[in-house]
Amino acid sequence: MKVNWQGVIPAITTKFNRDDTIDYTFFANHCRWLVDAGCIGIVPLGSLGEGATLSFEEKIALLKTALEAIGDRVPVIPGIASLSTTEAVRLAQAAEHIGCSGLMVLPPYVYSTDWREMKAHVDAVLRATSLPAMLYNNPLAYKTDFLPEQIAELAREHSNLQAVKESSADVRRIAAIRALIGERLELLVGVDDCLVEAVQAGAVGWIAGLVNAFPHESVALFQLAQQARLGQGDQAQLEALYNWFLPLLRLDTVPKFVQLIKLAQEMVGMGSAQVRGPRLELEGEELASARQIIEEALKHRPVLN
Task: Give the integer Cα–Cα distance in Å for 104 and 51.
Answer: 12
Q: Is the pTM of this model over 0.85?
A: yes
Q: Can 136 be counted among the known catalytic residues?
A: yes
Parent domain of 91: 8-235
- Is 269 exposed, middle or buried, given 0-12, 13-18 or 19+ CB atoms closer than 10 A? exposed
Query: Does the pLDDT value for residue 118 go beyond 80?
Result: yes
Q: What is the pLDDT of residue 181?
A: 92
Does residue 20 lie within any of the structural domains? yes
The residue ranges of DSSP E strands in 15-171, in sequence order, are 79-80, 103-105, 133-137, 161-166
pLDDT class of 141 with cuts at 50, 70, 90: confident
Does residue 204 lie within any of the structural domains? yes
Q: 222, 7 in Cβ contact below 8 A?
A: yes
Most distant CA atoms of the chain, gap in Å: 51
Query: Does the pLDDT value for residue 305 go beyond 80?
Result: no
Task: Give the integer Cα–Cα distance in Å for 184 and 161.
Answer: 9
As a whole number, mean pLDDT of residues 247-258 equals 97
Q: What is the pLDDT of residue 257?
A: 98
Q: What amino acid occupies position 164?
A: V
Nearest to 77 by CA among 5, 168, 179: 5
Does residue 245 lie within any of the structural domains? no
Q: Read off the pLDDT of residues 178-219 as tens digits, 9 standing for 90 and up.
A: 999 999 999 999 999 999 999 999 999 999 999 999 999 999
Does residue 212 lie within any of the structural domains? yes
**Which residue of the set 142, 165, 242, 262 is catalytic?**
165
Does residue 286 lie within any of the structural domains? no
Q: What is the pLDDT of residue 94?
A: 98
Provide the percentage of residues in the chain whose pLDDT is more than 70.
Answer: 100
**Which residue of the set 136, 142, 242, 262 is catalytic?**
136
Q: Can 165 be counted among the known catalytic residues?
A: yes
Query: Does the pLDDT value for residue 1 go beyond 90?
Result: no
Output the CA torsion 224→169→120→4 (10° steps): 0
Q: What is the pLDDT of residue 247?
A: 98
Residue 173, domain CATH = 3.20.20.70
Does residue 265 lie within any of the structural domains? no
Q: If you average pLDDT over every residue of the chain, what do you get?
A: 97
Per the structure, the count of domains in the chain is: 1
As a whole number, mean pLDDT of residues 102-122 equals 96
Nearest to 101 by CA among 167, 9, 187: 9
Does residue 60 lie within any of the structural domains? yes
Number of helices followed by number of strands (H, E) in the chain: 12, 7
pLDDT class of 140 with cuts at 50, 70, 90: confident
Q: What is the pLDDT of residue 77?
A: 98
Task: Give the integer Cα–Cα distance in Å for 42 and 35.
Answer: 8
Which carries the bigger pLDDT value, residue 198 or residue 140? 198
Query: Does the pLDDT value for residue 13 go beyond 90?
Result: yes
Nearest to 130 by CA among 156, 165, 159, 152: 159
Does residue 84 lie within any of the structural domains? yes
